[in-house]
Amino acid sequence: MFTGIVQDVGRVQRLEPRGEDLRLTIGSERLDPTGWNVGDSVAVAGVCLTAVGLQERSFSADVSRETLAHTTIGQWRAGTRVNLEPALRAGDALGGHLMVGHVDGIGQVLARVADARSRRLRVRVPGPLARYLARKGSVALDGVSLTVNLVETEQFEVNLVPHTLAVTTLGELEVGDHVNLEVDLIARYVERLLDPSSGASGPGASGPGASGPGASGSAA
């Protein structure tokens, strides 16, 4: 589990094709992966990946074809900056909202407008995900926990406060850029309770061996 509170901004150091999938090496400025264990989970731009190699100030993770197809990782290059958050541990503060790192879809930035010292971001969401967004509800963009301020059909707006602009990659987004999007976990379960026929075919059908969008974690 994750909370969407970014702990560091790393950089992609290497992308090594392995057949039809990929091995990533991510460098970190503040996090020290040598304190982790191989097999630990880490959210990289909102995508739950499994650490398979640990070095001082860097780690490696494998990325499956499924994850490449349903996240922005396929667009990354050496030097791409990415938000990092290690998995939540028992007793850690829950500062954002509960997240699993299973990307539901890719959003696109439609507008970025200055709003006093903050910045308003308008994002287009894939149509099937729009029903999971609610004003003052939660959403994650590239692994950052945010509050939805406005919802209009298949678009929504969030406000990026100065701290978020300073310590995440969201301040670097331009119109047309793509972002990994994870809808609120609670919204998924509410839908399931109200409509049992929704099953596992909707957003978030992921985890080990899953075939739906956003399958990552140990399946990556």
| Average pLDDT over the chain, rounded to an integer | 89
Span 105-129, mean pLDDT? 96
Nearest alpha-carbon partner for 104 in 85, 123, 87, 80: 123
132 Cβ contact partners less than 8 Å away, ≥ 6 residues apart: 104, 183, 184, 187, 188, 191, 203
122-163 pLDDT, tens digit per residue, is: 999 999 999 999 999 999 999 999 999 999 999 999 999 999
The CA–CA distances, whole Å, from 124 to 76, 93, 105, 218 equal: 20, 31, 11, 29
196 Cβ contact partners less than 8 Å away, ≥ 6 residues apart: none
pLDDT at 16: 96
Q: What is the pTM of this model?
A: 0.87
176-191 pLDDT, tens digit per residue, is: 999 999 999 888 888 8
Given CATH 2.40.50.140, say whether it is the number of domain 105-198: no
Domain ranges of the chain: 105-198
The CA–CA distances, whole Å, from 87 to 42, 96, 108, 116, 151 equal: 6, 13, 26, 34, 30
